[in-house]
Amino acid sequence: MTRVVKKRKLDEIRQDRLYFDSYSDVTIHEEMIADHVRTNTYRTAILKNSESIRGKVVLDVGAGTGVLSIFCAQAGAKKVYAVEACSIAEQAQITVKHNNMEDRIEVIRGTVETVDLPETVDVIVSEWMGYALLHESMLNSVLYARDKWLKPGGIILPSKAELYITPVIDPVVEDRLHFWYTVKDQYGVDMSCMSGFARKCIMNSDITVSSVTCEDVLSHPARFAELDLHSVTPEELRSVKGQFRCESFGSSAVNAFCVYFTVTFPCPDSTAPLVLSTSPCKPETHWKQAVLYLDAPVEVVQDTPITGEVRMYPSEENARHICIHVDYSIGEQKRHSKTFSIPDWSSEAQP
């Protein structure tokens, strides 16, 4: 093994350790379970699929505190394997016992890639979505479980994911940039020269996770990617891309793109599937939205075309982190390109 390959392997081990350690604290689980849209949609989806779950074997990938496993047992599952890699598995075991479910739910500590189940399963359930859908790269584990443990004709909850993009105006950013022009009136010092520096700092290449209000959305959303969890491959996840076209609602200034996702659950007894949406025009979730700031705002009028292509791929520095590359044109402007990533603060904290 070469030194480069060995270092890369050690980096991957450290990245996995940091990822799993981040789920060992109560805060993140409190945030997820308190997210009513998230938790109640999963509960509803599981109960609506009770005919497919009753008397069957279920695998919960990344079970966390075990709440989805308990939902599956409540829906009539004969056996639930709750696989969880981090130490929160101990609390899941306590929660399962506290709810008198230990005869049907078996908590297994380990990654789904390394554990050995005693049987194949009829259903896979997992809450695998990260910021901008693919941040943290947990979907790869779900696909591994699908290929190794799911019976032919088995179901996956959720079964489909879709990615959307829309142009937005972030008024807070504009207020922050304008601030430097107000300093002279307040203190007698002209600091308008700071505005260019402020723009570089604020409208940078970070994927900013924040809440976008529906009023700040400047067009109908464009779907640029769809993932069928029954057929998508890990290789395809290395480059998720698609083209988009939007037309602005009216006169404004585009200073960012907003990327969000939906996941869909099959509902056999209903004409419409159940959708969990992170759209800025739907009730807020803990995922919020991924905001990608342009280098400078661009003025638009009604029906100004905004076109381009989005490509999402794992970061070279940390495969669990996502990068988003956007090629875009607004109106008659020439094509621009910008690549965004979520800052890896954990790497700065390590020696």
Selection from 58, 154, 74 nearest residue 108 by Cα: 58
Asked, as a colleague might, if the bond just before 283 is cis with ω within 30 of 0, I would say no
Average pLDDT over the chain, rounded to an integer: 92
Torsion angle, CA of 241/246/248/254, rounded to 10 degrees? 10
Q: Contact at 8 Å (CB) between 158 and 267?
A: no
Sign of CA dihedral 80, 85, 86, 90: positive
The phi, psi pair for 291, rounded to 5°, reads -105, 130
Sign of CA dihedral 145, 148, 154, 160: positive
194-210 confidence digits (pLDDT tens): 999 999 999 999 999 99
Mean pLDDT of 32-50: 96
pLDDT tier, 234 (very low <50, low <70, confident <90, very high otherwise): very high
Angle subtended by helix axes 171-179 and 195-202, to nearest 10: 150
Q: Contact at 8 Å (CB) between 19 and 318?
A: no
Decide if 127 is catalytic.
Answer: yes
- pLDDT surpasses 50 at 347: no
pLDDT tier, 7 (very low <50, low <70, confident <90, very high otherwise): very low
Q: Contact at 8 Å (CB) between 300 and 248?
A: yes
The phi, psi pair for 175, rounded to 5°, reads -65, -40
pLDDT tier, 348 (very low <50, low <70, confident <90, very high otherwise): very low
At residue 246, the pLDDT reads 97
3-state secondary structure of 48: helix
Sheet containing 79-84: order of strands: 105-109, 79-84, 57-61, 121-125, 150-157
Q: Contact at 8 Å (CB) between 146 and 234?
A: no
- 3-state class percentages of the chain: helix first, strand second, coil last, to nearest 5: 30, 35, 35
Query: Which residue of the set 127, 235, 236, 299 is catalytic?
Result: 127
Q: What is the CA radius of gyration of the chain?
A: 22
79-102 confidence digits (pLDDT tens): 999 999 999 999 999 999 999 999
- pLDDT surpasses 60 at 119: yes
Q: Contact at 8 Å (CB) between 164 and 244?
A: no
Query: Which residue of the set 51, 106, 136, 174 is catalytic?
Result: 136
At residue 24, the pLDDT reads 59
Q: Contact at 8 Å (CB) between 308 and 329?
A: yes
**Which has more confidence, 18 or 219?**
219
3-state secondary structure of 271: coil
At residue 351, the pLDDT reads 41
User: What does 56-94 look like in DSSP terms, one character per residue?
Assistant: SEEEEET-TTSHHHHHHHHTT-SEEEEEE-STHHHHHHH
Mean pLDDT of 225-244: 98
At residue 25, the pLDDT reads 75
Decide if 136 is catalytic.
Answer: yes
Task: Compute CA distances 325 → 257, 308, 312, whole Å.
Answer: 12, 10, 6
pLDDT tier, 41 (very low <50, low <70, confident <90, very high otherwise): very high
Mean pLDDT of 299-317: 96
127-178 confidence digits (pLDDT tens): 999 999 999 879 999 999 999 999 999 999 999 999 999 999 999 999 999 9
Predicted TM-score (pTM) of the model is 0.91
pLDDT tier, 26 (very low <50, low <70, confident <90, very high otherwise): confident
Long-range contacts of 43-47 (CB under 8 A, 24+ apart): 43/71, 44/274, 45/157, 45/158, 45/265, 45/267, 45/274, 46/71, 46/72, 46/74, 46/75, 46/125, 46/157, 47/71, 47/74, 47/75
pLDDT tier, 28 (very low <50, low <70, confident <90, very high otherwise): confident
Burial of residue 290 (number of CB atoms within 10 Å: 0-12, 13-18, 19+): buried
- pLDDT surpasses 80 at 29: yes
Strands (E), the chain: 57-61, 79-84, 105-109, 121-125, 150-157, 160-168, 208-210, 222-228, 240-247, 252-265, 274-277, 289-300, 305-314, 322-330, 336-341
- pLDDT surpasses 60 at 290: yes
Centroid of chain to Cα 19? 14
- pLDDT surpasses 60 at 69: yes
- pLDDT surpasses 60 at 54: yes
At residue 11, the pLDDT reads 64
